[in-house]
Structure 1
């Protein structure tokens, strides 16, 4: 035992595995967690601090597993240095008002215990507030990932404020704790789907038909994939609509030109698009017994202009019936001859 104690004293601040070891980067005082504690959300702040202190191998200073060494011992100077450094860490991660209230406490353990006594309690008022937040929350205009983050934050706070009971006697053989946890997770899958908007009703129905129900992470992935699919379809439909609209504008612009292109033989000729003029010219040609020597490039039909092209503008009512009767008359005439 004497040799072990001597080793700790001689190498306590040099051995990376020692609880008294301080890395050069640890000397700089900086904020360890994302948000300073200001009086609300203590459990989240506490969990973040515990994770950070654990990575630095200094969690034993706040959980009370290290006793204060005798002031006359050589080990005391290592402990004192670490203790003062950790006090500065905690103070930096507290709001100014709360930091002043713990500034004159002597050890890291005392500060940690004081904060836990003042802010670490659980009351039914907190549970009520969290339950009310959950009742009021809905997806609204949030995307699936944003909404899932909000609802999961409420679940985590409820777990911290009102955790599920678990077996402490270590003699349970029915796995009641695991059954309760499984039921809670299934219930949260249902809660998540109930709070989503109705545009996901089809995916919701598919999930409810699964046996067993997927866990909450798998359920989130299904709805996130459906959201991505809807976005792709929306962009595709919008692109097609814009292309159709552009074609319509192009057609209207072409129809509004002062001249149209027709073909007479192998030569390209320009004719006015005035419908009355075209009809007048065609009537004159019919009275003379001559056929027009131009045709429209779209349908290749002699005497057709853009306004008179059935293939472009659509067939008039009863056109197909007249064509059928005309064809039948021609066949009957051929048969009688």
Structure 2
């Protein structure tokens, strides 16, 4: 309110410096017009209850004096409320700037309600006012650092190591710069993490062959990849396979394990695709032998069936022996060879 009145050059109406002129003069009318303006400004900034108690006063000086007598002092309850708010305040999820603004408003309210004592003697040599102000600055810096979050512990320790604490404004600048630095660092780390993840997805399946110190990309070193041979089509559709046979042009085994070159195991048969000439052993870390396809079992006969067959052959031989002895001998030989 005082700022508004001072800006309009009307503060003299509330402090009593502008005395009311005599009635009937030209200055009296001008004074009344300015006085009514100041009264309207004061009444417009009061709540409804307080406005009713001063609205019938004709002088701005009278209104101001009455308000100052009723509300122009600081009670212990008001100071207690401000100190309690200062004790409970903390940064939380607010930024350093927002938290400093909030706590500074409480400091200013306490200073207005309970100002520091100062020396009133002339030619003072003890500098007690300066010492009081310095002590107050140190207390405010301590409170400000205590109520910040724990991720400022490093810079808080650095400030406490200094023999003389900085001013409140200097401490605010230090912690504000630290906050900006952390934000920039986190943004840079996030960008680097995303870039690393993109590169990792790009080179998935690549590995480093420690035996010959060569870089392998899913196929045997020294040979052209299947995607290059097929005009850019990716033929490595099965995940987890790191072998490619350049002889069979298939994935799943290397040239060193190709059955088409080194021979098939005993009893091996391909039922799904006769054109595929190799079988992958996979990437077994325990060197376990893969299962081979099972061959179809040969039909068997019982002893009774065999005996019946031999009886039939004997009867046939006897019949043929009666007609041609040579044919009987040939039939017996064929029976023995078929068994």
Range of TM-score over shorter length:
0.5 to 0.7
Show CA shifts across 1:116-147 (max 9, x none): 12222211111111111111111111110111
Partner residue in 1 for 2:120: 168
Contact 2:39–2:60 (Cα < 8 Å) also in 1 = yes
The equivalences for 1:107-146 within 5 A come to: 107-146=59-98
What is the CA distance between 1:241 and its match in structure 2?
1.9
Question: Offset at 1:286?
Answer: 5.6
Q: For residue 249 of structure 1, report the CA deviation from its aligned partner.
A: 3.7
1:225 maps to 177
In the alignment, does 2:178 pair up with 1:178? no
* TM-score after normalising by structure 2: 0.63
**Residue 61 (str. 1) matches residue 13 (str. 2):** yes
CA contact (8 A) 1:261 1:269 kept: no
Map of 2:168 onto structure 1: 216
Gaps in structure 2 of 5+ consecutive residues: 208-217, 244-250, 264-281, 286-339
| Bigger helix fraction | 1
Once the two structures are overlaid, the 10-residue window that deviates more, 52-61 or 151-160, is 52-61
- In the TM superposition, residue 175 of structure 1 has moved relative to its aligned partner by 1.6
Q: What's 1:74 paired with?
A: 26
Q: What SS is found at the alignment partner of 1:104?
A: coil
What's the CA shift string for 1:3-51, capped at 9, x where partnerless? xxxxxxxxxxxxxxxxxxxxxxxxxxxxxxxxxxxxxxxxxxxxxx112
Is the counterpart of residue 156 in structure 1 residue 103 in structure 2? no
Superposed CA offset, 1:44-75 (max 9, x none): xxxxx112211222111111122222213332
In structure 1, the residue matched to 2:262 is 287
Partner of 2:196 in structure 1? 244
Secondary structure of residue in 2 paired with 1:279: coil
Normalising by structure 1, what TM-score? 0.64
SS in 2 for 1:167: coil
Count residues with an aligned counterpart: 241
